[in-house]
Amino acid sequence: MHAADIAEEFPVVSIDSDALDAARLLAEHRLPGLVVTDAAGKPYAVLPASQVVRFIVPSYVQDDPSLAGVLSETMADRAAEKLGGKAVRDVLPEHLHDVPAADANETIIEVAATMARMRSPLIAVVKDGELHGVITASRLLAAALKV
């Protein structure tokens, strides 16, 4: 089985897309992440949902999680406002700018190795230089386990 066989259509955003819209897309569809494309529509990066969560949590709370309990409900309810006016490029972490991608002809094991090495919840599948689809970790596991 090859990457093209298990790749599926998946929401994609560009690096210039609104970060709040991307967060809503992640939340509404319960996605593990999004493939981010450059201005030419080529895969550029993967934006994991966990990275968006990290972006909205103040750094001092990440450093000391016990401080989360002292934040007021109003402050917590407004956490996502940090995404307002930001582009997806603003919330991408440095280490995820190399898009985890697989060629359409790669085997499931090759895709799994890339996913594991890049620690990414999804892999962009490229065929003839164009985005063909996406493989999520759960989709990969289902194919490997023949579920």
Whole-Å CA distances, 71 to 78, 83, 86: 11, 19, 23
CATH of domain 3-145: 3.10.580.10
What does the buried/exposed string (b/e) look like for 104-113 if buried means 16 or more CB atoms within 10 Å of the residue's CB?
bebebeebbe
Cβ partners under 8 Å of residue 137, min gap 6? 32, 115, 121, 122
Q: What is the DSSP letter of 39?
A: T
pLDDT of the residue at 98: 67
Whole-Å CA distances, 144 to 31, 49, 112: 20, 24, 9
pLDDT of the residue at 71: 66
- Annotated domain spans of the chain: 3-145
Decide: 26 and 50 in contact? Cβ < 8 Å: no
Q: pTM of this prediction?
A: 0.76
Q: Is the dihedral of CA 57, 63, 66, 70 positive or negative?
A: negative
Q: Is the dihedral of CA 18, 100, 130, 3 positive or negative?
A: negative
Q: What is the pLDDT along the chain (147 residues), one digit of tens a residue?
A: 899 999 999 899 999 999 999 999 998 999 988 989 888 888 888 888 888 877 777 777 777 777 777 666 666 556 677 788 889 988 887 765 567 789 999 999 999 999 998 888 889 999 988 889 999 999 999 998 987
User: How many angstroms separate the CA atoms of 99 and 118, rounded?
Assistant: 9
